[in-house]
Structure 1
C-alpha cells in the first residue's frame, strides 16, 4: 500500500497541476488510515500501553494531557518540517524562531497591546523570519541548512537581547487569550485542537493540491521538476515562510500555556522536529511526507521523555533515548523498504 501511494505521488501532473488519482473518487480518505503514519501510530500506542502496564500512574488522564501539551510545539514545527524534508531541505532556525516570536508577543502584551493582536503579530513575525531565510537562500545562493544555521544564532540572539536575558513577566493573565488558548476544551488542551486542525489542513495541502504536488515533485527529482516548469525558488520560498509561520504559531500557543516569555525556550526544538518527522515516516531522501506521521512522531518523543521520569531515569538520558528511537525508526523503515523492493523485483513489478 505504501509503495502504491509513493508511485501515485511521483506520477506526472495532470493539466491542472494535480497528481492523477487525487480527486475524491480516488478514495484518498479511505486510504489515509493505511498510509505511512499508521506505523508510528501503532508504535505510539504500544509504547503508551507498555509504560502504562509497568507504571499504572502513566494512564492518569492529567499525565496524558501533559504529554500532549508538551508535544504541541515540536509537532507544529515537525508538520512544517515535513514540507521541507520532502524538498530535501532543512530549517535549523525553527527553535529560535519559536523563541523570538514568543518573546515579541510577550513584550507587545506587556506594553499594553491587546493580547490577541500581539500573538497575531508574533505569528506574522515568524512568517517574516521564514521569508528572511528564503531571501538569504535565494540571494546568497546557499543551501537552506547553511542559511538557517546562521539565522538560528541571529534569531536566538535577538530574543535574548529583547528580553534582556530574563523572563518577560507581568502579562495580562486575566485576558481571554490566556483563559481560552491556555485552557482546555472537551477534556484536551486547546492547543491540541489547534494542532489537529493545522495537521488536517496541511495534509490536504500536501496531498491534494498543486502546491503539494510541486513540493513533492521537487524532492523526487529536482531536474525533472524544473524541466516541467515548476519554480523551485518560489516553492521553496513559500515553504520556508510556512515553516516560519508555524513556528510563530507554536510561540503563540506556548505563551498562552507558559504565561511568560523565556528567551531560552525552544532550544533543540529544530532537531526534535526533524526527528519527529523522520520517525513519522518522512524520508530524508525527499519526494514524500506525512504530516500526521510527524505529529505522532512528536508525541512519541514526548512519551519517551515522560516515560524516563516514571522509571527514575535521569533527564540527562532523554537525548540518548530520543536518538535511539530515531535510529530504530530509520533502521526499521529502511529494512521494510528494502524488503518491498526485493519483493517487487521478484515478481517483476
Structure 2
C-alpha cells in the first residue's frame, strides 16, 4: 500500500497571519490616523499652514520658498528657547531670563573671537556659559527657596545689565564672513538655512529626551504631581537643576547661531524673547498646569509667531502693533489651553467608574 503525501492547502493561513482579518489594514490606517490626530501640535501646524495660505492669497510673494525660509530662520532663535521653556513649563517652572541669556552668550562668543580664540571653540564655550547661567538660576531657586518667576525676573535684569556693561552698549563683531564658522552657520543646504536645520534637529532630539528617557519621565512626573514625585523617590531638586541648565545651554546655542548668521552681538538683542518663548511653547501644546509638553509644538509655535510678524509687515501694519498681535496670540493660546483642560477634567469626572 503506497504512502500518500498531503500538501498543505494554499488557502490555509500562513504563520504570522493569525488574527489578521480582512479589515486589518484599514484598522491599522485608522490607528495611525488617530495617532496623528492626537498630537498636541497638530492645531498649531494647521493654524500655521492656514495663515501662510491666507497671507499668500493676498500677497503671492509670501509663498515663495526664499520668503518662507527667511521666516524659518527668524523663528529659529525663539524656537530653540521655546524648546527649553517647554521642559520648564512641564515642571511648573519658568525662566524669564532666557532672552538675557541669549544676548549674554552671543556677546561672550563674540568677545572670545575678538580675543583670538577659534570661533568654533568660542561657540562651544559660549554654550557652556549658557548652561552655567541656567545653573545659577537653579541654585538661586533651590538654596534661597525662591519661586522661579521671582528668581529669573531678577537674573533677567542682572544678565542684561552685564551684557550692556561688558559691551559698553555697542555691537561687538564676531568672526569675519569668510571664516568657516560664519560660512557654515550662515549658509544653507538646498536652500534651507542651517539655522532652521539646527532648530529641527534640536526639536527632534529633545522630543526623544522628553518621551523616551528617565529624565523626560521625571520632568513630566514632577509637573503632574510634585509631591507624589518626591514621595516616589524622584530627585526633584536635581531634575529641576538639570532642566534649568538645559534651558540655559539652549539659550547659549541660540546666541551662537546669531553670531554665525549676523556676524555681531548686539547687547539689546533678545529683549522680550522670554515672552515669545513662553507663548510659542503654550501655543504648541505645552500645558501651563505642568505634566505635559510638546517640543515639536514649541518649535512650530515660534514659526507661527514668525508668520504673524511677517504677515503684519506685508499688510503694512506699523511695527508698533507687533507686540499687540503677539499679546493677542498669547491670550488666545492661554485661553484655549484653559478651555481644553477644563473639558478634559470634566470628561474624566463624568466617565463611568469601573
**TM-score, structure 2 length as denominator?**
0.87
Equivalence for 2:212: 208
Equivalence for 2:26: none
Does 2:279 correspond to 1:283? no
Contact (CA 8 Å) 1:110, 1:172: kept in 2 or not?
Answer: no
CA distance in 2, matches of 1:66, 1:200: 21
Q: Which of residues 261, 267, 272 is equivalent to 2:271?
A: 267
For structure 1, list consecutive stretches of 5 or more residues without a partner in the other structure: 1-26
Q: Which of residues 288, 299, 303 is equivalent to 2:303?
A: 299
Deviation at 1:30, TM superposition (A): 8.9
Deviation at 1:143, TM superposition (A): 1.2
- 5 Å-filtered alignment, 1:190-201, equals 190-201=194-205
Alpha-carbon distance change, 192 to 218 in structure 1, aligned in 2, over 3 angstroms: same
Contact (CA 8 Å) 2:175, 2:260: kept in 1 or not?
Answer: no
Secondary structure of the structure 2 residue equivalent to 1:293: helix
Secondary structure of the structure 2 residue equivalent to 1:142: coil
Contact (CA 8 Å) 1:98, 1:248: kept in 2 or not?
Answer: yes
Deviation at 1:32, TM superposition (A): 5.8
- Flag as ranges the 4+ runs of structure 1 deviating above 6 A: 27-30
Equivalence for 2:84: 80
Which protein shows a greater Rg? 2
Deviation at 1:337, TM superposition (A): 4.0
CA distance in 2, matches of 1:29, 1:96: 42
Deviation at 1:261, TM superposition (A): 1.1
Equivalence for 2:168: 164
Contact (CA 8 Å) 1:74, 1:298: kept in 2 or not?
Answer: yes
For residues 14-48 of structure 1, give each alpha carbon's deviation from its aligned partner in whole angstroms, at most 9, with x where no partner exists.
xxxxxxxxxxxxx9999366310111111111111
Alpha-carbon distance change, 151 to 224 in structure 1, aligned in 2, over 3 angstroms: same
Equivalence for 2:136: 132
- 5 Å-filtered alignment, 1:1-349, equals 31=35, 34-169=38-173, 171-348=175-352
Alpha-carbon distance change, 311 to 115 in structure 1, aligned in 2, over 3 angstroms: same
CA distance in 2, matches of 1:70, 1:97: 18
Give me the CA root mean square deviation: 1.8
Contact (CA 8 Å) 2:284, 2:298: kept in 1 or not?
Answer: yes
Contact (CA 8 Å) 1:214, 1:235: kept in 2 or not?
Answer: yes
CA distance in 2, matches of 1:207, 1:339: 25
